[in-house]
């Protein structure tokens, strides 16, 4: 069951239509799993707020106000500027549910395909509604996305390998998780199911209906124990899988130089394991 405290926040926001929010908050919207009706007991709540133009409210004041509005917060972080998304404020509630809030002004907010899944609950002037509609119509170059994740995977593979060789296992596992994110997106693209609205952070089980149980299971192979040998082996298996999975690139060609660089990284990992 989803968190009762987060459900109450969503209900309160939707029921009052922002009546208990200050007038300098121009719009409020819900994103993530709560907007897509995919929430579970482990989901956090993503909220986006827009400060009205002409307001002299600072981001820090907005953050303090929103923390007070959430209430019952035991741990707080932010505001921290997150590129393309705005100032992020994280609030942990008493029942350990997490509310993630982002604050923007009209000057800092950007068009982003991920905004197209937002559920707007307050929009005093219609600005956010227009922004979301424009985000829905943004064209995505799938070949470019494929290339981006191809490069990202191999850079992270090199980082993971070097960190494991140094004995920095916690860092190597962090980079290994980044490698898996790229693997997930490559699988989505290859199955024609890539969507920027669905982020790369969901557990593999959520992909089973999209791409099939066998492909989803690939993302769970060789989960490492906390040892140098185990982490290196997991990196190697990920590298070998990714190399095989991206060999046929007729639809998403990779430049020969980039392909050669990837093969060089793979040889280094193979030799080091």
Omega prior to 113 cis, within 30 of 0: no
Domains assigned to the chain: 4-136 (3.30.460.10), 142-272 (1.20.120.330)
pLDDT (tens digit, 9 = 90+) per residue, 130-169?
888 887 777 678 888 899 999 999 999 999 999 999 999 9
Arithmetic mean of pLDDT, 80-95? 90
Query: What 3-state class would DSSP assign to 96?
Result: coil
Q: pLDDT class for 201, splitting at 50, 70, 90?
A: very low
Q: Tell me if 232 sits within 8 A of 179, measured CB to CB.
A: no
Q: pLDDT class for 232, splitting at 50, 70, 90?
A: very high
Residues in the chain: 273
Angstrom CA distances, 61 to 25, 28, 221, stand at: 12, 17, 46
Check residue 141 and give its pLDDT: 80
* The most confident of 52-61, 80-89, 121-130, 147-156, by mean pLDDT: 147-156
Mean pLDDT of the chain: 84
- DSSP label of 52: P
Distance CA 153, CA 157 (A): 6
The backbone region for 48, taken as left when phi is positive above 0, alpha when psi lies in -120 to 50, beta otherwise, is beta
Between residues 110 and 43, the one the model is more confident about? 43
């Amino acid at each position: 069951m989803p968190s009762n405290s987060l459900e109450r926040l969503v209900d309160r926001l939707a029921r009052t239509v922002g009546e208990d929010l200050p007038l300098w908050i121009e719009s409020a919207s819900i994103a993530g799993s709560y907007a897509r009706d995919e929430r579970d007991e482990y989901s956090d709540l993503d909220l986006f707020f827009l400060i009205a133009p002409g307001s002299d409210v600072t981001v820090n004041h907005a953050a303090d106000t929103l923390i007070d509005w959430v209430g019952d917060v035991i741990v707080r972080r932010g505001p921290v500027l997150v590129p393309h998304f705005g100032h992020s404020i994280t609030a942990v509630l008493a029942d350990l549910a997490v509310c993630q809030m982002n604050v923007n002004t009209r000057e800092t907010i950007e068009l982003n395909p991920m905004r197209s899944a937002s559920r707007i609950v307050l929009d005093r002037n219609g600005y956010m509604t227009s922004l979301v509609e424009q985000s829905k119509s943004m064209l995505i170059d799938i070949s470019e996305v494929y290339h981006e994740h191809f490069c990202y995977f191999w850079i992270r593979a090199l980082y993971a390998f070097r960190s494991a060789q140094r004995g920095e296992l916690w860092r190597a596992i962090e980079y290994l998780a980044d490698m898996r994110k790229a693997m997930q997106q490559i699988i989505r693209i290859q199955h024609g199911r890539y969507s920027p609205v669905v982020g790369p952070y969901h557990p593999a089980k959520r992909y089973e209906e999209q791409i099939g149980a066998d492909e989803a299971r690939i993302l769970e192979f060789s989960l490492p124990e906390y040892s140098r040998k185990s982490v290196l082996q997991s990196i190697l298996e990920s590298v070998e899988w990714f190399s095989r999975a991206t060999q046929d690139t007729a639809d998403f060609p990779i430049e020969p130089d980039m392909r050669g660089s990837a093969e060089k990284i793979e040889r280094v990992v193979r030799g080091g394991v």
